[in-house]
Amino acid sequence: MVAKKVLIIDDEATVKQAMKKALKNEGYDLLFANDGEEGLKIVKKTPPDLIFLDLRMPVMDGLEFLKKLKVKYEDPYFIVVITGHGDDKDIAKCYDLGITNFLRKPLSMTEICALAKRCLEGKKIEAELKNYRDNLEKVVAQQTKKIQDQLQFLETLINANPAPIYFKDTNLKITGCNNAFADWVNIPKDQLMGRKFENLFSKSVAKKEREKDLALLKSGGTQSYNSRLQFNDDSHKDVCYCKALFKMNGKKTAGIVGTIFDITDREEAMRKLDDKSKSLNQANMSLRILIKQLSDAQEERVGNFPNLKELVLPSKDQLNNILSSPTERAYIDNIMLNLNRVTSTFAKKLSQMNLGLSPKEIQVADLIRIGLSNKESALQMNVTKSTIEFHRDNLRRKLNLKHEKKNLRAYLMALDASMSKD
């Protein structure tokens, strides 16, 4: 163990001898100086743990020594000033220069030893406290940095959430929110702090939300419900609320955290789907009427078919008003196409002409007459295009048009017109 260094600055040999005698058995490393100037050199070269300083000395007295040394609290040594009677003014100056320990003449061996031990022990305790304080400050700084990092992470996490999130205290004032919430209400985040929903939404909405919040604060747990928010500018959104209480120190309720999911698009889609469903129900009713009319028409004579068109066309117009998509309209057009074929007497008269035409050829001839292409005819009959071309070739041969430069459709339309006159 390194011995503590004790520096004695005094020009009187009797004082130095008394100090040496009192401290020789304490295990200290004793250093001596005859004046303040010599003492300063020793302090700079070999910093002591304790200094005994006399005020009355030649060359540089004790007060001048203290002024030069500029005593500070964190210095690694204590200074004990040796004073005589009548030095009260000097003692006051010593206090101003940072000295708090004094030893009065005549010197007491016991007092010297006790004072040395107390000062050295005090400096040791001060060093330990400083070290503890420095370490504590370091630990606090580390923990503070850790908490700040955690808060920064949580803030980043919350701001990264696209759903609006807000925090309210128990007075229902907004104490925090993420960027999505600020964007959603179109108000800067710093201007939202301390506001209530009464400042953001219509009175009816704010009243409902206040009732919901108070119920949650009373009952605890969580809340989840749909609502329609109307803003102060009369715009509105359909939303889904998810709320929960958060506590301070895990015990006392500190407020409400809420997440708002914008379901405006979903609700609008649901409304459109509902409207579409109603329109389809109306369309189904009109189609049932149309099918019933067609079914009834099949039981009538061919001559009554013109009446069928008069009955069906109003339903067709009604369906066109209800159904908007190209696919739906294509179905109606297909129904009307087949209706024209049903109401036409062309196929029946053509079959009675004894031209040797097969049923398929008569069907193809009817489709050609009304203007369908080979591809369209193939779709109507659910056959290939080459099959339609085969039947067309047979029709030209059986109608004696094989080597004639006549248009098949034009010929069939003229034939239909001549049969209608008959």
- Complete DSSP assignment for 224-271: EEEEEEEBTTS-EEEEEEEEEEEEETTTEEEEEEEEEEE-HHHHHHHH
The answer to whether residue 390 sits within a structural domain is yes
Last residue of a domain, which of 231, 262, 293? Answer: 262
Domain that holds residue 309: 263-335
In this structure, are 326 and 355 located in the same domain? no
In this structure, are 38 and 107 located in the same domain? yes
What's the mean pLDDT when you consider all of the chain?
A: 82
Contact 74, 130 (CB under 8 A): yes
Q: What is the CATH number of the domain that holds 188?
A: 3.30.450.20
Which residue is listed with tokens 């409902």?
208
Last residue of a domain, which of 83, 106, 129? Answer: 129
pLDDT at 88: 79
The number of beta carbons lying within 10 Å of the beta carbon of residue 162 is 12
The answer to whether residue 140 sits within a structural domain is no
| Bigger pLDDT: 249 vs 159 | 159
pLDDT at 32: 92
Q: pLDDT (tens digit, 9 = 90+) per residue, 176-199?
A: 999 999 988 888 988 999 999 888
CA distance linking residue 350 with residue 419, whole number of Å: 9
In this structure, are 253 and 290 located in the same domain? no
Q: Could you write out the DSSP letters of every residue in 47-110?
A: --SEEEEES--SSS-HHHHHHHHT--TT-SSEEEEEE-TT-HHHHHHHHHTT--EEEESSP-HH
In this structure, are 12 and 96 located in the same domain? yes
In this structure, are 94 and 118 located in the same domain? yes
The answer to whether residue 153 sits within a structural domain is no
Contact 80, 60 (CB under 8 A): no
pLDDT at 243: 93
* pLDDT-wise least confident of 52-66, 99-113, 340-354: 340-354
Q: What is the CATH number of the domain that holds 353?
A: 1.10.10.10
Rounded to the nearest 10 degrees, what angle do helices 62-69 and 36-45 cross at? 30
In this structure, are 247 and 204 located in the same domain? yes
Q: What is the CATH number of the domain that holds 60?
A: 3.40.50.2300
> What does the pLDDT average to over 338-348?
65
260 Rama class: left (phi>0) / alpha (psi -120 to 50) / beta: beta
CA distance linking residue 214 with residue 208, whole number of Å: 10
The answer to whether residue 151 sits within a structural domain is no
The answer to whether residue 145 sits within a structural domain is no
Q: pLDDT (tens digit, 9 = 90+) per residue, 385-404?
A: 999 999 888 888 888 887 77
The whole-model pTM stands at: 0.41
> What does the pLDDT average to over 67-96?
84
DSSP alpha helix (H) spans, 323-384 = 326-343, 346-351, 359-369, 374-381
> What does the pLDDT average to over 291-298?
60
Q: Which residues pair with 79 in a beta bridge?
A: 51
- Total domains present in the chain: 4
| Bigger pLDDT: 278 vs 389 | 389
The answer to whether residue 154 sits within a structural domain is no
